[in-house]
Amino acid sequence: MDLNWLQDFVCLARTLNFTRAAQERNITQPAFSRRIKALENWISVPLIKRSSYPVQLSEAGQQFLPVARAAITELTDIRQALRAQERGITAFQRFAVLHTISVNYLSRRIGELEAEIPNLRVRVYSDNLRTCCQMLSDGTCDFLLYYSHKEVQPVFDEAQFARKDIGTDPLIPVAEARAATAHGWSLDAPGGLPIPYLGYDPSSFLGTVVDQIIGKRQPPLSLLYMDALTEAIKRRTLTGSGISWLPESAVAAEIDAGQILRVGGESWDAEMTISLFCSLDRLDQIGHAVWETL
């Protein structure tokens, strides 16, 4: 038995798609399929109905799914506890978090928490949305922090976890001040010249949110650059390369300094919620203190 087999199976049970599950697990589809088959051989019962599209769990697969989830959680928890015990120290509180939230919110907040919670030790895993959600589902982190938006469907089963919304962070259209003024960049000025646009990868969460903001409107945007990372887009924005949508927390200091300015009214904003998830029954005493304090 390989723990990876269980994690693969749980991922496939959620996505019901071998290709997508393999991508989320960062392995090739043939290798992923072999690991699922190895698990079925170990159990000696088919877990997946491959004849349907999308694939479905067999009756045995449905019975085995909660067992696999529990096994992943228990093994991960005991590993962390034993390692901490061996070192004679308190366990790390493990956060899976989007890069943007890590830089603009969590790093500051952890500094405050360290003053409030004795013996707090934190490990942060900054990654993309799907990887962070997978880490919580697999039990390889204690807390998940991500943006949520009313128009974007969650990418994992939120009902399995406790949720707390701990703040908001508007996504706003901005540009470098001198470039915006010199070229007259404004989303509220119809019929203007095409505006160079720095966009997110369309498959990313923020890319989906921006698509929702634009909707059926047709602003004079000319896509110049695309990236999945907010910090990369921010750097291009600061060079005067074009306009972009950035979380307000990421550019608050630059707006206050007059280095960046808004290039559209509030109708071009999107309210994003910073949501915190965890499994309350898996938290230790310090973990519960973190949950209550955040």
φ/ψ of residue 86, rounded to 5: -65, -35
| CA gap 97, 37 in Å, rounded | 32
More confident residue, 5 or 150: 5
pTM of the model: 0.70
pLDDT-derived band at 84 (thresholds 50, 70, 90) equals: low
Which band of pLDDT confidence, cut at 50, 70 and 90, is reported for residue 291?
A: very high
Whether 132 and 125 have beta carbons less than 8 Å apart is answered as: yes
Mean pLDDT of 191-217: 88
**157 secondary structure, DSSP code:** -
Q: What angle do CA 286, 65, 16 make, to 5 degrees?
A: 110
Name the band, by pLDDT with cuts 50, 70 and 90, for residue 217. confident
Span 56-81, mean pLDDT?
A: 84
The per-residue pLDDT of the chain, averaged, comes to 89
Q: pLDDT-derived band of residue 57, with 50, 70 and 90 as boundaries?
A: very high
Q: Average pLDDT for residues 163-184, to the nearest whole number? A: 95
What are the chain's domains? 3-82 (1.10.10.10), 90-162+274-293 (3.40.190.10), 169-272 (3.40.190.10)
Q: What's residue 15's pLDDT?
A: 87
The arithmetic mean of pLDDT across residues 190-214, rounded, is: 87
Coil vs helix vs strand at 163:
strand
Q: If residue 127 lies in a helix (H) or strand (E), which one and from where to where? A: strand 122-127
Q: Could you give the CA distance from residue 121 to residue 209 in angstroms, rounded to a whole number?
A: 34
With bands split at pLDDT 50, 70 and 90, how would you rate the model's confidence at 189?
Answer: confident
Ramachandran angles phi, psi of 92, nearest 5°: -70, 145
* Burial of 107 from C-beta contacts in 10 A (0-12 / 13-18 / 19+): middle
6-9-13-18 Cα dihedral, nearest 10 degrees: 160
State the CB neighbour count (10 A cutoff) for residue 147. 21
Split at pLDDT 50, 70, 90, the class of 52 is confident
Q: How far apart are CA 157 and CA 108, in angstroms?
A: 29
Rounded Cα–Cα distance for residues 134 and 45 (Å): 25
71 phi/psi in degrees, rounded to 5: -65, -45
Pair 253, 146: CB distance under 8 Å: no
Q: What is the structure's pLDDT at 90?
A: 63
**In the chain, % of residues over pLDDT 70:** 96
- Host H or E run for residue 273: strand 270-278
Rounded Cα–Cα distance for residues 202 and 210 (Å): 9
Which pLDDT score is estimated for 160? Answer: 85
Residue (of 250, 284, 285) closest to 107 by Cα position: 250
Residue type, 15: T
Position 88 pLDDT exceeds 60: no
pLDDT digits (tens, 9 = 90+) for 104-153: 899 999 999 999 998 898 989 888 887 888 888 877 889 999 998 887 77
